[in-house]
């Protein structure tokens, strides 16, 4: 899951970036509206966190341009306490949710989970053979036993689960797992996949390697 934060307040952006990265999301930061607009044109995101009071291009204009390109990307608006009118306009322009500053990080994270889940079209708990994945709490179980997964492994598992039975290339994995400035090589992706595969093996859940192309989470045999 890859998230773009459009926020000119570096302290807020930094706090958000850290906490979302800890949660296994890839995060990019755009400090003004123009940068946000061009990032949205060039990269694939799963969510936009949009401050309305942005320099160079106001947040509402970023949102308007996004929706005029027929993008369905979920948008979470951040507004100041007194910005009721902007908030309403934001929702009218197609924002999916909003939060008023100052906000609790825990609440924002919960809303991020809800929005990214909705956009991936996933249900709260995904059952896959012996594997069950709770996308609200972001924990996986095999036959009822909890799996210990790193943030990267959780990110990887989520991508594979939402594309079950389909090929996912290494470039797509890099794109979804890493934000700007984070260098993750294909070799590192291979290591993450190797680790996750080992952990899933116990439950008979298989990640197939399609040589030279990428990976595919095989459908459970019972289906
Ligand atoms: Ca601002």
Ligand 1 centre distance from Cα of residue 96 (Å): 19
> What's the gap in Å between 191 CA and the centre of ligand 1?
39
**Predicted TM-score (pTM) above 0.75:** no
What's the gap in Å between 72 CA and the centre of ligand 1?
24
At residue 120, the pLDDT reads 67
Query: Distance, CA 53 to ligand 1 centroid (Å)?
Result: 4
Contacts of 59 by beta carbon, 8 Å cutoff, 6+ apart: 6, 33, 50, 51, 52, 53, 77, 86, 90
Query: Which of 184, 161, 177 shows the shortest CA–CA distance to 28?
Result: 177
User: Distance from the CA of 5 to the center of ligand 1, in angstroms?
Assistant: 12
Domains and CATH numbers, the chain: 2-120 (3.40.50.2300), 125-217 (1.10.10.10)
pLDDT at residue 222 in the model: 55
Question: What averages of pLDDT result for each successive group of 10 residues across the chain (223 residues)?
Answer: 95 93 91 97 92 95 93 90 79 90 90 82 78 86 91 90 88 83 84 94 89 87 57
Containing H/E element for 177?
helix 170-177
130: left (phi over 0), alpha (psi -120 to 50) or beta: alpha
The pLDDT assigned to 176 comes to: 83
pLDDT score recorded for residue 55: 97
Predicted local distance difference test score (pLDDT) of residue 183: 78
**What's the CA-to-centroid distance between 167 and ligand 1, angstroms?**
40
Which pLDDT belongs to residue 52?
A: 92
């Amino acid at each position: 899951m890859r998230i773009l934060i459009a926020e000119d307040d570096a302290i807020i952006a930094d706090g958000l970036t850290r906490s979302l990265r800890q949660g296994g999301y890839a995060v990019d930061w755009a400090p003004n509206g123009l940068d946000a607009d061009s990032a949205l044109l060039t990269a694939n995101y799963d969510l936009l966190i949009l401050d309305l009071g942005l320099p160079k291009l106001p947040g509402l204009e970023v949102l308007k341009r996004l929706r005029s390109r027929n993008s369905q990307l979920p948008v979470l608006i951040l507004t100041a306490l007194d910005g009721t009118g902007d908030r309403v306009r934001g929702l009218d322009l197609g924002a999916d949710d909003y939060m008023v500053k100052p906000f609790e990080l825990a609440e924002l994270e919960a809303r991020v989970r809800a929005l990214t889940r909705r956009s991936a079209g996933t249900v709260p708990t995904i059952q896959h053979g012996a594997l069950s994945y709770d996308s609200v709490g972001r924990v996986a179980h095999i036959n009822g036993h909890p799996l210990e997964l790193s943030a990267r492994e959780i990110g990887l598992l989520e991508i594979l689960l939402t594309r079950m039975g389909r090929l996912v290339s290494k470039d797509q994995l890099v794109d979804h797992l890493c934000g700007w400035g984070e260098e993750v090589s294909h070799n590192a992706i291979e290591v993450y996949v190797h680790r996750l595969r080992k952990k899933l093996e116990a439950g008979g859940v298989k990640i197939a390697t399609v040589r030279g192309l990428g990976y595919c989470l095989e459908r459970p045999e019972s289906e």
